[in-house]
Amino acid sequence: MKRYRYPSIPESEVTPPELFESRRRVLRGGLLLGAAAVAPGLLWPRNVTAWQGELQRQLDAGLPTVDLAGGEAPTSFRDITTYNNFYELGTGKRDPEIYAHQIVTDPWSLTIDGEVDKAGTFALEDILKHQDLEERIYRLRCVEAWSKVVPWTGFPLAELLKRHEPTSRARYVVFESIHDPDRLRGQRRSVLDWPYREVLRIDEAMHPLTLMAVGLYGESLPNQSGAPIRLVVPWKYGFKSIKSVVRITLVEERPLSSWEERNPEEYGFYANVNPEVDHPRWSQARERRIGESGRRETLMFNGYAEEVAHLYSDLDLQRHY
Amino acid sequence: MDQRTAINLFRLLVLVASSAPAFWLGWEWFFGDLGAVPGEAVVHFTGKTGLILLLATIAISPAFRFTGWVGFMAARRQIGLWAFFWLVAHMLAWMGLDQYWDWPWIRREMVELPYIRYGVAALLLLLPLAVTSFHRVRKAMGWTAWHWLHRLIYVAAALGVTHLWILTRADYLLPTLFAVVLAALVLFRIVEAAIHRQ
């Protein structure tokens, strides 16, 4: 006769307490977030496609184009939008395109707070109304040694920050991405500590090359490219150019950015493109330009040394990578 | 179904399962469905397929112990050689589609990058196993020597998993899966050896 065996749950099936707790946190956070999202809508009902309307109005008017990629042809729209790192939607290169619909961009508001005189939460259309958009063609270099040439539409971050009047204590600018684990499949796994966070020095943030992008190839940003609004810092590795930004906070003390927190040896705070400082696991001397065969030499500061090298003249770039 | 037919069918199944990924890859390549960087997709796909087959080769012996069916053992060399084929293809794809046959760089990356070194070491360890897989060589070597030599597959698999582990950026799901499977297989062999000794 077979002995009766008590059914037991294997250790692997038991929800770890951190995860259990985090679920509660997420639920609580979700409720709060939901309430925060609904409340303004109840108070000030507005057209949900408001920001697209404002963006389209400017795009239709025709925008000036500034080529800052040395006359190189932009990478194809298809390549730009089907080979992405956007871990909120999964860690595969095609995941962001496949799961792009999981990002809800309507309505979108941006909180600007911390060391600014004019803090608050602003509907994206209200932010766009005050900005003159332009098209800028930039090189984009990923820390994984691939690169693209991208025609962004956007406005300098400096203009936005100035309008909100940073105080004298504002030394760093912290950016935060969308946090929506109920919808974003990638945020249900703790590959990174969500929400994604990036940080710039105030002088980097105020640099005229630093862009807030809302468009790609003359249209609104596809979700996988960081819709509806994202940062673009062309002389730094791509992970600094945070996508789908919901909050910009000016601070005096520098918090860690997401990748720096994950692995400080590999992803420094500055993350300036530098062919002479290798990633601990691979070389940064060369890059693969998407859509091209062969490899190219990586340029110092991704080819923007003339514009930005002076920001780091007193830094040892081998140490402050 | 008699024993012989069953074994032949199983060997056919191994043939189909191990070569089908190549047809799939060729199809996707031909129709441009491998994404913006098809070379990278080929490198990743060949590597994963090779590693899976390597673990499958190691799993054959436990499968035989559990079921007692000799068909597994009859197909082991075949699966092992397919694993070797895929891993050689992986290295060639890396050299050609990732490094574009730039020999100075290939040499440099082999010397400087730990994950490339582990990958190359794994392949070098598998080479004598492939060479000694013929019946005649095996006979000439004698069973004990052959058996000891072929335990190198565990070292090669461990190097392969380490190779994947090191080059992973943040998402360790897949390398963890491979590591757990390999650990389970090694554990099985250790326990089995201990039982036999008693």
* Sign of the CA dihedral with A255 first, then A259, A263, and A266 last: negative
| Beta strand A120-123 pairing with A109-114 | antiparallel
Closest to A296 measured CA to CA, from A72, A2, A106: A72
Beta-bridged to residue B116, according to DSSP, are none
Q: B132 pLDDT exceeds 90?
A: yes
By CA distance, what is B164's nearest residue in A? Answer: A281
Spatial distance between the Cα atoms of B97 and B42, rounded to a whole number of angstroms: 8
pLDDT tens digits for range B135-159: 889 889 998 999 999 999 999 999 9
pLDDT score recorded for residue B182: 97
Cβ–Cβ below 8 Å for B170 and A78: no
Q: Is A39 exposed, middle or buried (0-12, 13-18, 19+ CB in 10 A)?
A: exposed
Cβ–Cβ below 8 Å for B170 and A262: yes
Spatial distance between the Cα atoms of A43 and B130, rounded to a whole number of angstroms: 73
Spatial distance between the Cα atoms of B40 and B25, rounded to a whole number of angstroms: 12
Tokens at A235, concatenated:
């002389």
By CA distance, what is B170's nearest residue in A? Answer: A191
Across B35-68, b (16+ Cβ under 10 Å) vs e yields bbbebbbbbbbbbbbbbbbbbbbbbbbeebeeee
Cβ–Cβ below 8 Å for B37 and A293: no
Cβ–Cβ below 8 Å for A281 and B170: no
Cβ–Cβ below 8 Å for B36 and A291: yes
Spatial distance between the Cα atoms of A282 and A319, rounded to a whole number of angstroms: 17
Nearest to A281 among B100, B115, B173 (CB): B115
Q: Which helix (H) or strand (E) holds A174?
A: strand A172-177
Query: Does residue B106 contact residue B99 with C-beta atoms inside 8 Å?
Result: yes
Q: Is B130 an 8 Å CB contact of chain A?
A: no
Query: Does residue B62 contact residue B185 with C-beta atoms inside 8 Å?
Result: yes
Give the mutation candidate from A85, A93, A193, A224 for the B interface (greatest B CB count, under 10 A): A93
Proportion of chain A above pLDDT 70, given as a percent: 85
- Residue in the block written with tokens 């002076």: A310
pLDDT tens digits for range B25-76: 999 999 989 999 999 999 999 999 999 999 999 999 999 999 999 999 999 9
Half-sphere exposure of A8 (CA within 13 A, CB side): 6
Spatial distance between the Cα atoms of B161 and B184, rounded to a whole number of angstroms: 14
Q: Is B128 an 8 Å CB contact of chain A?
A: no
Running DSSP on this structure, what letter comes out for residue A289?
Answer: E
Spatial distance between the Cα atoms of A197 and A252, rounded to a whole number of angstroms: 16
Q: B89 pLDDT exceeds 90?
A: yes
Tokens at B159, concatenated:
């190097």
ipTM, two decimals, is 0.85
Q: HEC profile for A52-73?
A: HHHHHHHHHCCCCEEECCCCCC
By CA distance, what is A285's nearest residue in B? Answer: B105
Please enumerate in sequence order all residues whose Cβ is within 8 A of that of A157, keeping only pairs 6 or more positions apart, or say none: A173, A205, A206, A210, A211, A212, A231
Query: Does residue A163 contact residue A252 with C-beta atoms inside 8 Å?
Result: no
Averages of pLDDT over runs of 10 residues in chain A (321 residues) are 55 58 58 58 56 94 95 96 96 95 95 97 96 97 97 98 97 98 94 96 98 97 97 98 98 96 93 94 93 93 97 92 92
Mean residue pLDDT across chain A: 90
Cβ neighbours around B108 below 10 Å, total: 15
Give the mutation candidate from B33, B108, B162, B171 for the A interface (greatest A CB count, under 10 A): B171
Spatial distance between the Cα atoms of B180 and B158, rounded to a whole number of angstroms: 11
B152 phi-psi bin (left φ>0, alpha ψ -120 to 50, beta other): alpha
pLDDT tens digits for range A186-237: 999 989 999 999 999 999 999 999 999 999 999 999 999 999 999 999 999 9
Instruction: Compute the radius of gyration of chain B from its Cα atoms.
Output: 18
Cβ–Cβ below 8 Å for A288 and B36: no
pLDDT score recorded for residue A154: 97
Closest to A248 measured CA to CA, from A198, A193, A211: A198
Running DSSP on this structure, what letter comes out for residue A282?
Answer: B
Across A29-38, b (16+ Cβ under 10 Å) vs e yields eeeeeeeeee
Query: Does residue B191 contact residue B61 with C-beta atoms inside 8 Å?
Result: no
pLDDT score recorded for residue A31: 58
Query: Does residue A85 contact residue A186 with C-beta atoms inside 8 Å?
Result: no
Cβ–Cβ below 8 Å for A283 and B37: no
pLDDT tens digits for range A66-108: 999 999 999 999 999 999 999 999 999 999 999 999 999 999 9
Beta-bridged to residue A248, according to DSSP, are A112, A175
